[in-house]
């Protein structure tokens, strides 16, 4: 079906208004609709990924207008993989939200959730930079709504910071788009890739600034130090299922960097030489170090997880910043891992929260379901800290292996391995206080012992862990696939020609125009 | 049995004890034993091939591109270790079943134990060094769980974390080492690496790889200076100490050194590092062990000492050393595991492990006495027991080792180590079992049931058998040694004998034993000296280091992320400007391609007003109402700017948006104080001002640069201009771009608008559900309210004007495709009309006349837009493909019908709904605070003329 590729965007965009229109007072109906929508998304995404797996590039011209004049969606291996990852993550997060009752603690959770998915899916699929901006807006505003879901002072305060920082990012995005359009007269990525080659060596400042501005926009989304400040408090204060879904949002930034800086401003492009190949790696290394140090420094469990997300994004960015097929394929493998691990840990910290007064790392009585939750935390922490046998370790090996030939190899290895140790310390400390030390105090007499989380909530976390295990067991296949994908990214001719050369409405007129 | 099963059995079997836990202790221990037994038997089925000198292989690809594959191999060395792991494992499981009390969760214990067992078997059978790393770290993790098994004990938790930190650090170093090694050899398969001795040792990265790998081995095998974690791991239940921390896990480092022996050993670096570390560890461990009063601590340090001994033997780099090492591994595993189990028995029966509180147990616990004494004597190196044999070989090897150019250093230190080793063994026997029977044991000691003493007894039988008939072990040890040496060296010809003649090793041995006895005699005075000596306490140092690292981490992270948004924004802005400047300064720049446009007086005037309004805003922003007005000016100037640049659509949009925003802001202002308080210091304001100025200048430079230059080729807008009528059926290019060329963007943007409204609504709802509600109800306006809430003039005017507004909105909507206008602007205009009703006649009056809930309007708008887009699927076109035609309904002129109009209707509805829902949300807040609103318009508020409240009066 030719419209398959647009479905991941349209479907949630229809489910959400329908919920608002017809079911806004019925949480039961909302749950059914939302869940059905996400299940359908998983199926659609899986078939899209299947379709793209042999290297097919699917082009969809919005309004039948050919690129670069209209907007196109492009489904290639990378974008469909990200779409699949998003939909699968969304399924488990949604199950958790329903199981834990989070969706019923404020209004419009499901509508905002669907809109959020629409934004993320659109950002992965679009082949147009301005359209990417629009989807960034959609996912930003929806995520803000989700973030402050259920209210509370701390959450609202964090939410304001979140949305303000990201509005700075949006403004910068507009500057970047303006610069790119002024310089090249186009916004379509494939077309842009062609046009930047026309820029001669006599004047490069324009395109250089445009490229770094755009890079910083994506770096904000990817929470790269020093543009990461929005992340710790907003992820920590957001409702757990929302924070878990946000695990994919940082990856939107990483995805955009991979896409734009392998296809358009690729490492061989003379005009933009000496920019991101200079800046990105040190920033990524510092991100990793800051993130993992934060794991040790944080005073609350949810902050521990939030900092670990920064750290793992640092890891992703280190790998991306090397810009070789090996390193990009390692980054892609790690992106999947980091998304699943981050989401798992956020959900687990919520399992802990249900049994405790708060998530402070102080000794509090044993939570109900301690053994199971502790076991899950142990697995999640192993994954995040990059210890064997889970995918975090394999991802780390891939990154280290990819960095072997780099002239900054010693730096990369030292920081990657050193920060692993710090994060092990941090996670061991947090887990030991929350799950073990709790045995040394007991509930006060008469104090109400909180209920254990619902089985559905556990099942959702269990499902994510199962995905992590699958990502480990089938690491060879996944990595083989990401390797193919990375090779394709460094040879984007097929992508570009598919986008630019497919005719649309009035295409003959276009030729006359050129 | 395939090697896969041997490794996989314990892992999958680990599920069983947890599952069987509620079925009882016997069942739990039973399944654990069975699983281990199955793996053990599976291992034995491979014995014939191993004896025949074959290497059994099994391989499945895991990550072939990386070179990490699930490949296993079983040779003599692997078989030897697997035999130890599974064989002693069986005894430990039997012992553990009787050792754990009813309060302990046995299922958890055996699950962890089996996980460990699987990981350990994995290490010794791995053919791939990356796979080996996986199992290596798994042993650290399962050891973490087992040490912390008694969660309520602080020693357990601390010991577990210490062990994890130290071995984890080593493991991370080893990752680096293994990767380097693999890169040098071109493969991560051991079978390949072991063939490349020359290549590896010649590589400049050899030393780095060696040091990193040795870090892993030394931390795991508790070599100096990383030995300190092992004694603290003794907080684990005794079966764990016996299994992990003496017989198996701590030998993983040694195993790896043996495994890598053919490629890594033989260089001066290897010799110096490994031999020195081993030697120091051996002597230090033995000395400390002598003065420990806790039985398990004594055994722990003795383990450290013996691990040092084996390490030293491997370090010498000779074939004889390697053989002696292998033999001692076997002997140490037997006598030390037996000793640990005996210590556990004593602890179990006497309820203390403190040697000072024991003594005289010889009569009370005769069986334990025999087992422990034989094992201890073997450890002391007494002939006819196996410890003697390997110790002799060690002393023999030490005699031939020249370290730091001194032929005396190694032999002397080895003798000293043996001497202390003998001394603590004698002390163990003497102070625990001999001496008078006491009457103040914490519990009455007696021999335990067979379940506890049988496992160590089996080991002691081995101790004696090997000790008396070493030739029985000789072929096996030589087989193991052969697989250690690989092609690097020949297996030594010498035989395992009790009597070698009057060789120097014998004299050294005699010195050690006699010296040990003397040490025992002078134990009390030497203990006094020892206690008086200042000693660095490893645990204190370690915790100080960890604590200072954590402190440093907190000192960096917490102040940096303290929630001060203005600083976050400042850092972000500085970063952007700096990176942008760097990109600018490293690029090339050519002359502008466009002329400056002339500055007309109108433009300059507008510009001046814009600047004045902005500057005024900065100066006067503390007065909120005033700043709102100034913002309005800025907005209007922008609209005029759009008009100036011939963009009437944008101007209209901007203008209506401006009106709606100001109204909404005014409503919000109602809940805020009149003035913004001063919350920042002068310094911070200076900082923020400078950042803002830099940012502004950068933006100016950017715009200036681009506005004077053309794009490299024709921009896409030329296509839009040329084809808007032909392809989109409209002459208003902006509208055609919005609803057709880039309708998908608009679709996204109306969704943004809709979400924003839903968000405001949800936020209001949450606020009203919380403490804010009470706050609002009790709120007193700080100024006099207008007595005439709904002025008659305004009410009448707005009601009269309403149909006109709707008509204008409809007109604007319809003409949108060809003239300035469209759904977006029409939506805003209609909203303004409705907002005016709210303002004039009151919220109650207006909402009572509300026929359609605004949620629904938003939902319907977004749905209509989406469904319009999907409509084109039915004619086989992509999403949002538009079509148009001209129709003529008689009396009217011919007019155009475009599908885009339907899309525009969606836009219209979404805009109206979004604006109105936001307004309604604010009004809900207002109504909470203002009390019930009157149903009647034109009402008078009588409260205005009420006398002032008494309190206020007095104040006045």
Confidence of residue A510 (pLDDT cuts 50, 70, 90): very low
DSSP string, B886-899: EE--TTSPPEEEEH
For the segment A276-318, what is each residue's pLDDT rounded down to a tens digit? 888 899 999 999 999 999 999 999 999 999 999 999 999 999 9
Q: Inspect the interface and report whether the beta carbons of A134 and B713 lie closer than 8 Å.
A: no
Is A444 exposed, middle or buried, given 0-12, 13-18 or 19+ CB atoms closer than 10 A? exposed
| B256-272: average pLDDT | 88
Residues of A in contact with B103 (CB under 8 A): none
Q: Has residue A472 got a pLDDT over 80?
A: yes
Which of B135, B588, B866 has its CB closest to that of A10? B866
* Chain B residues touching A213 at Cβ < 8 A: 576, 580
Could you say which of B584, B718, B752 has the minimum Cβ distance to residue A205?
Answer: B584
Distance from CA of A49 to the nearest CA of B (A): 20
pLDDT tens per residue, range B539-549: 888 888 888 99
In 3D, which of B248, B355, B362 has the Cα closest to residue B296? B355
The total number of structural domains in chain A stands at 1
Q: A1 touching B, CB under 8 A? A: no
Is B406 near chain A, with CB under 8 Å? no
Q: Which of A442, A434, A395, A432 is nearest to A416 (CA)?
A: A395
Would A200 be classed as within a structural domain?
no
Q: What is the mean pLDDT of residues B323-347?
A: 89
Confidence of residue B936 (pLDDT cuts 50, 70, 90): low
Q: Which residue of A has its CA nearest to B739?
A: A63
Binned at pLDDT 50, 70 and 90, residue B928 comes out as low
- Report domain extents, chain B: 288-521, 620-677, 728-781+788-943
pLDDT of B939:
57
pLDDT in tens, A223-275: 998 999 999 989 999 999 999 999 999 999 999 999 999 999 988 888 888 88
Residue B792 DSSP SS3: helix
Nearest chain A Cα to B180, which residue? A404
Q: With beta carbons under 8 A apart, name residues in chain B contacting A382.
A: 141
Q: Write down the ipTM of this complex.
A: 0.92
Instruction: Identify the bridge partners of residue A73 per DSSP, sorted by sequence position.
Output: A60, A126
Chain B residue with CA closest to A132: the answer is: B745
Smallest Cβ–Cβ distance between A141 and the set B726, B752, B767 belongs to B752
Phi, psi of B380, rounded to the nearest 5 degrees: -75, -15
Chain B CB within 8 Å of residue A505 CB:
yes
Mean pLDDT: which of A77-81, B343-347, B823-827 is highest? A77-81
What number is the average pLDDT over the span A412-421?
Answer: 92
Q: Determine the Cα–Cα distance for residues B220 and B140; give it in Å rounded to an integer.
A: 8
A2 lies within 8 A of chain B by CB: yes
CB contact under 8 A, A69 and B720: yes
Identify the residue with better confidence: B944 or B72: B72
Contacts of A152 in chain B (CB under 8 A): 770
With a CB-CB cutoff of 8 Å, which residues 254-313 of chain A face chain B?
271, 274-275, 279, 290, 293-294, 296-299, 307
Residues 752-781 of B with CB under 8 A from A: 752, 754-756, 758-759, 761-763, 765-767, 769-770
Does position A63 have pLDDT exceeding 80, yes or no? yes
pLDDT level of residue A444 (50, 70, 90 thresholds): low
Number of Cβ pairs < 8 A linking chain A and chain B: 387
Asked if A14's CB is within 8 angstroms of B863's CB, the reply is yes
B207–chain A Cβ distance below 8 A for any pair: no
Nearest to B402 by CA among B294, B525, B246, B272: B272
- Identify the domain containing residue A389 by its residue range: 274-473
Local confidence band at A511 (pLDDT 50, 70, 90 cut-offs): very low
Facing residue for A134 by CB, picked from B584, B745, B756: B745
Query: Read out DSSP for B733-748?
Result: HHHHIIIIITHHHHHH
- Convert the pLDDT of each residue in B83-110 to its tens digit: 999 998 998 888 888 888 888 888 888 8
Q: Which helix (H) or strand (E) holds A58?
A: strand A58-61
To test the contact with chain A by mutation, choose from B692, B751, B914 the residue with the greatest count of A C-beta atoms within 10 A, namely: B751
Chain A residues with beta carbon closer than 8 angstroms to that of B160: 428, 432
Q: Does A472 touch chain B (CB under 8 A)?
A: no
Q: What is the pLDDT of residue B415?
A: 87
Residue of chain B whose alpha carbon sits nearest to that of A477: B63
Render pLDDT for A391-401 as a digit per residue (tens, 0 to 9): 999 999 999 99
CB-CB under 8 Å, B867 with A206: no
Is residue A86 scored above 70 in pLDDT?
yes
Asked whether the beta carbons of residue B718 and residue A513 sit closer than 8 angstroms, the reply is yes
Tokens for A218?
A: 């994506």
Does B22 reach chain A within 8 Å, measured CB to CB?
no
Q: So what's the pLDDT on residue B943?
A: 55
Going by pLDDT thresholds of 50, 70 and 90, the confidence category of residue A490 is very high
Show Cβ contacts of residue B435 under 8 Å, excluding neighbours closer than 6 positions. B359, B360
% of chain A surpassing 70 pLDDT: 96
Is the model's pTM score more than 0.80?
A: yes
Does residue B772 surpass a pLDDT of 60?
A: yes
For residue B739, the chain A residues in CB contact (below 8 A) are: none
If contacts are CB pairs under 8 Å, which of residues 306-345 in chain A contact chain B?
307
Which pLDDT score, from 0 to 100, does residue B933 have? Answer: 53
What pLDDT is stored for residue A334 in this prediction?
A: 95
The closest CB to that of A71, out of B108, B590, B744, belongs to B744
Residues 179-198 of B with CB under 8 A from A: 179, 183
Q: Do A130 and B742 touch (CB under 8 A)?
A: yes
CB nearest A161 (choices: B565, B740, B762): B565
Nearest Cα residue in chain B from A441: B152
Nearest to B295 by CA among B226, B341, B244, B245: B341
User: With 80 as the cut, is the pLDDT of residue A82 above it?
Assistant: yes
Q: Which of A307-321, B764-778, B900-914 has the lowest mean pLDDT?
A: B764-778
- The answer to whether B151 faces chain A, any CB pair under 8 Å, is yes
What SS3 state is found at B223?
coil
pLDDT band at B482 (very low <50, low <70, confident <90, very high): confident
Percent of chain A with pLDDT over 90: 69
pLDDT digits (tens, 9 = 90+) for B610-632: 999 999 988 888 888 888 889 88
What burial letters (b/e) apply to A477-506, b meaning 16+ CB within 10 Å? Answer: ebbbbbbbbbebbeebeebbebbbeeebbb
Q: How far is A451 from chain B (nearest CA, A)?
A: 23
Residue in B588, B714, B765 closest to A185 by CB: B714
Confidence of residue B953 (pLDDT cuts 50, 70, 90): very low
Can you tell me whether residue B190 is helix, strand or coil?
Answer: helix
Is B582 in contact with A212 (Cβ distance < 8 A)? Answer: yes
B 559-578 residues with CB < 8 A to A: 560-561, 563, 565, 568-569, 571-573, 575-576
* pLDDT for res B842: 78
Which letter does DSSP use for residue A435 in this model?
A: I
User: To 5 degrees, how large is the angle CA B123–CA B129–CA B130?
Assistant: 100
Mean pLDDT for chain B?
85
Q: What confidence tier does B27 reach under pLDDT thresholds 50, 70, 90?
A: confident
B873 contacts on A by Cβ (under 8 Å): 3
Three-state SS at A199: coil
Judging contacts by C-beta atoms under 8 Å, the chain B residues touching residue A13 are 747, 751, 862, 866
Mean pLDDT of B49-58: 86
| B577-614 tens-digit pLDDT | 999 999 999 988 888 888 888 888 888 998 899 999 99
Contact B837, B802 (CB under 8 A): yes
Please list every residue in chain B whose beta carbon sits closer than 8 Å to the beta carbon of residue A60.
Answer: 878-879
Is A295 a member of any domain? yes
Residue B436 has pLDDT above 90, yes or no: no
Q: For the segment A116-148, what is each residue's pLDDT rounded down to a tens digit?
A: 999 999 999 999 999 999 999 999 999 999 998
CA distances from B23 to B18, B26, B30, B106, B521 (A): 10, 8, 11, 11, 53
pLDDT of A445: 60
Is there a contact between A424 and B713 if contact means CB atoms under 8 Å apart?
no
Which residue among B589, B741, B759 places its CB closest to the CB of A63? B741
Tell me the C-alpha distance between A480 and A394, whole Å.
13
What's the rounded Cα separation, in Å, for the pair B178 and A109?
A: 49
For chain A positions 400-439, those within 8 Å of chain B (CB to CB) are 400-401, 404, 413, 417-418, 420-422, 424-426, 428-429, 432, 435-437, 439
Residue B522 pLDDT: 86
Say whether pLDDT at B186 is over 60: yes
Residues of B in contact with A299 (CB under 8 A): 558
Q: Are A251 and A82 in contact (CB under 8 A)?
A: yes
Q: Which of B176, B588, B741 sits opposite A201 (nearest CB)?
A: B588
């Amino acid at each position: 079906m030719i419209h398959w590729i647009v479905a991941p965007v349209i479907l949630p965009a229809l489910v959400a208004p329908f919920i608002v229109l017809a079911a806004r007072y019925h949480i039961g109906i909302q749950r059914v609709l939302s869940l059905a929508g996400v299940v359908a998304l998983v199926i659609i995404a899986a078939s899209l990924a299947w379709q793209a797996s042999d290297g097919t590039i699917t082009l969809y011209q919005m309004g039948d207008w050919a690129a670069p004049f209209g907007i196109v969606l492009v489904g290639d291996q990378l974008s469909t993989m990200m779409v699949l990852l998003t939909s699968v993550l969304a399924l488990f997060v949604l199950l958790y939200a329903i199981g834990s009752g989070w969706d019923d603690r404020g209004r419009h959770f499901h509508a905002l959730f669907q809109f959020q998915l629409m934004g993320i899916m659109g950002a992965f699929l679009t082949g147009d930079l301005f359209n990417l901006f629009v989807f960034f807006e959609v996912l930003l505003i929806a995520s803000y709504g989700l973030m402050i879901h259920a209210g509370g002072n701390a959450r609202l305060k964090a939410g304001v910071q979140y949305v303000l920082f990201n509005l700075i990012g949006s403004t910068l995005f507009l500057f970047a788009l303006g610069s790119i359009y002024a310089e090249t007269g186009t916004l379509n990525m494939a077309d842009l890739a062609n046009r930047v080659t026309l820029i001669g060596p006599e004047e490069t400042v324009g395109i250089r600034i445009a490229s770094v501005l755009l890079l910083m926009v994506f770096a904000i989304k990817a929470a790269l130090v020093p543009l990461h400040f929005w992340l710790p408090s907003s992820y920590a204060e957001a409702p757990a299922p929302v924070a878990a879904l946000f695990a994919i949002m940082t990856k939107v930034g990483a995805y955009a960097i991979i896409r734009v800086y392998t296809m358009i401003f690729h490492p061989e492009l003379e005009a933009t030489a000496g920019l991101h190949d200079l800046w990105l790696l040190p920033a990524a290394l510092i991100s990793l170090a800051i993130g993992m140090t934060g794991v040790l420094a944080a005073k609350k469990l949810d902050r521990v997880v939030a900092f670990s997300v920064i750290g793992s994004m640092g890891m992703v960015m280190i790998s991306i910043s090397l810009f070789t097929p090996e390193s990009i394929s390692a980054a892609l493998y790690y992106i999947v891992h980091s998304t699943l691990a981050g989401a798992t840990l956020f959900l687990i910290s919520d399992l802990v929260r249900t049994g405790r007064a708060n998530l402070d790392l102080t000794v509090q009585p044993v939570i109900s379901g301690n053994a199971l939750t502790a076991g899950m935390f142990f697995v999640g922490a192993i994954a995040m800290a990059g210890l064997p046998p889970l995918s975090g370790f394999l991802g780390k090996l891939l990154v280290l292996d990819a960095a072997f030939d780099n002239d900054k190899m010693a730096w990369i290895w030292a920081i990657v391995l050193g920060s692993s140790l710090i994060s092990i310390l941090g996670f061991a400390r947090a887990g030991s206080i929350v799950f073990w030390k709790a045995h040394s105090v007991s509930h006060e007499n008469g104090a109400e012992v909180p209920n254990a989380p619902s089985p559905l909530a556990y099942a959702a976390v269990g499902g994510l862990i199962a995905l992590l295990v699958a990502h480990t067991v089938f690491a060879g296949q996944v990595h083989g696939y990401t390797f193919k994908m990375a090779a394709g990214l460094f040879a984007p001719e097929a992508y570009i020609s598919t986008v630019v050369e497919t005719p649309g409405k009035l295409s003959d007129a276009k030729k006359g125009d050129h | 049995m395939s090697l896969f099963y041997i490794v996989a059995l314990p892992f999958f079997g680990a599920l069983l004890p947890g599952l069987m836990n509620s079925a009882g202790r016997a069942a739990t221990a039973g399944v654990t034993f069975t699983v281990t037994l199955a793996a053990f038997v599976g291992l034995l089925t491979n014995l014939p091939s191993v004896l025949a000198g074959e290497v059994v292989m099994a391989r499945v690809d895991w990550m072939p591109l990386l070179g990490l594959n699930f490949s296993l191999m079983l040779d003599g060395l692997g078989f030897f270790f697997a035999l130890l792991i599974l064989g002693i494992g069986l005894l430990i499981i039997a012992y553990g079943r009787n050792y754990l009390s009813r309060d302990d969760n046995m299922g958890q214990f055996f699950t962890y134990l089996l996980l460990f067992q699987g990981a350990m078997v994995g290490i010794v059978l791995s053919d791939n060094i990356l796979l080996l790393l996986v199992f290596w770290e798994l042993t650290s993790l399962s050891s973490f769980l087992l040490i912390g098994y008694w969660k309520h004990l602080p020693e357990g938790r601390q010991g577990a974390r210490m062990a994890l930190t130290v071995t984890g650090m080593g493991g991370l170093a080893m990752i680096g080492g293994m990767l380097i090694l693999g890169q040098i050899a071109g493969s991560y398969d051991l079978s390949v690496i072991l063939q490349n001795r020359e290549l590896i040792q010649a590589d400049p990265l050899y030393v780095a790889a060696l040091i990193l790998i040795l870090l892993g081995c030394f931390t795991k095998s508790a070599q100096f200076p990383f030995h300190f974690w092992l004694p603290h791991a003794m907080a684990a239940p005794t079966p764990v100490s016996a299994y992990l921390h003496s017989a198996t896990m701590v030998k993983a480092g040694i195993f790896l050194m043996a495994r890598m022996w053919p490629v890594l050993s033989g260089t001066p670096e290897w010799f110096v590092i490994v031999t020195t570390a081993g030697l120091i560890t051996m002597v230090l461990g033995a000395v400390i062990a002598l003065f420990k009063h806790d039985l398990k601590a004594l055994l722990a340090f003795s383990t450290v000492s013996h691990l040092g001994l084996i390490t030293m033997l491997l370090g010498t780099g000779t074939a004889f050393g390697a053989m002696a090492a292998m033999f001692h591994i076997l002997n140490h595993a037997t006598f030390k595991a037996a000793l640990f189990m005996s210590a556990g028995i004593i602890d179990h029966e006497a309820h203390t492990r403190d040697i000072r509180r024991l003594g005289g147990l010889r009569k009370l616990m005769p069986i334990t006495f025999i087992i422990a004494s034989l094992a201890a004597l073997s450890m002391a190196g007494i002939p006819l027991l196996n410890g003697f044999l390997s110790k002799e070989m060690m002393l023999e090897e030490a005699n031939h080792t020249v370290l730091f150019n001194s032929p005396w250093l190694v032999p002397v230190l080895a003798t000293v180590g043996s001497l202390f080793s003998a001394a603590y063994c004698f002390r163990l026997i003497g102070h625990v079992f001999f001496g008078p029977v006491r009457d103040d044991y914490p519990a009455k000691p007696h021999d335990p049931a067979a379940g506890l003493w049988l496992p160590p007894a089996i080991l002691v039988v081995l101790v004696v058998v090997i000790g008396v008939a070493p030739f029985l072990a000789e072929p096996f040890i030589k087989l193991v040694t052969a697989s250690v040496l690989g092609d690097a060296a020949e297996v030594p010809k010498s035989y395992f004998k009790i009597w070698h003649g009057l060789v120097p090793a014998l004299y050294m041995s005699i010195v050690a034993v006699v010296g040990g006895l003397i040490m025992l005699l002078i134990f009390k005075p030497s203990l006094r000296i020892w206690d008086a000596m200042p000693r660095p306490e490893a645990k204190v140092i370690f915790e100080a280091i960890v604590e200072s690292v954590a402190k440093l981490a907190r000192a960096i992270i917490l102040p940096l992320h303290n929630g001060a948004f203005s600083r976050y924004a400042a850092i972000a802005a500085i970063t952007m400007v700096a990176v942008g400047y760097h990109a600018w300064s490293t690029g090339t720049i050519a002359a502008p391609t466009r002329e400056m446009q002339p500055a007309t007086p109108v433009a300059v005037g507008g510009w001046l007003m814009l600047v004045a309004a902005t500057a005024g805003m900065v100066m006067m922003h503390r007065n909120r109402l005033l700043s709102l007005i100034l913002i309005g000016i800025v907005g209007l100037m922008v609209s005029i700017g759009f008009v100036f640049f011939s963009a009437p659509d944008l101007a209209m949009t901007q203008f209506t948006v401006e009106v709606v925003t100001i109204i909404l802001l005014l409503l919000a202002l109602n809940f805020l104080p009149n003035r913004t308080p001063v919350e920042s210091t002068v310094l911070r304001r200076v900082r923020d001002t400078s950042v803002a100025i830099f940012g502004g200048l950068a933006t100016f430079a950017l715009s200036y640069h681009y506005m004077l230059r053309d794009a490299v080729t024709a921009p896409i807008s030329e296509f839009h201009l040329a084809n808007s009528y032909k392809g989109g059926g409209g002459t208003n290019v902006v509208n055609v771009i919005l609803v057709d060329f880039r309708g998908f963007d608009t679709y996204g943007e109306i969704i943004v608008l809709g979400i924003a409204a839903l968000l405001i609504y949800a936020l209001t709802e949450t606020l009203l559900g919380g403490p804010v509600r009470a706050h609002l109800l009790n709120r007193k306006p700080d100024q006099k309210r207008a007595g005439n809430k709904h002025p008659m003039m305004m009410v009448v005017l707005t009601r009269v004007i309403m149909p006109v507004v709707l008509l204008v909105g409809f007109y604007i909507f319809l003409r949108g495709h060809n003239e300035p206008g469209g759904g977006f602007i029409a939506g805003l205009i209609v909203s303004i009309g409705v907002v005016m009703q709210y303002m004039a006649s009151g919220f109650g009056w207006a909402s009572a006349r509300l026929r359609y809930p605004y949620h629904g309007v938003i939902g319907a708008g977004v749905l209509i837009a989406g469904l319009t887009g999907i409509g084109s699927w039915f004619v086989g076109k992509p999403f949002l493909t538009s079509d148009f035609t001209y129709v003529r309904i008689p009396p009217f002129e011919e007019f155009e019908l475009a599908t885009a109009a339907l899309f525009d209707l969606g836009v219209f509805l979404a805009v109206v709904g979004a604006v109105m829902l936001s307004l309604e949300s604010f009004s809900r807040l207002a109504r909470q605070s203002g009390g019930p609103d009157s149903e009647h318009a034109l009402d008078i508020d009588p409260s205005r003329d009420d006398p002032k409240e008494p309190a206020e009066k007095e104040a006045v």
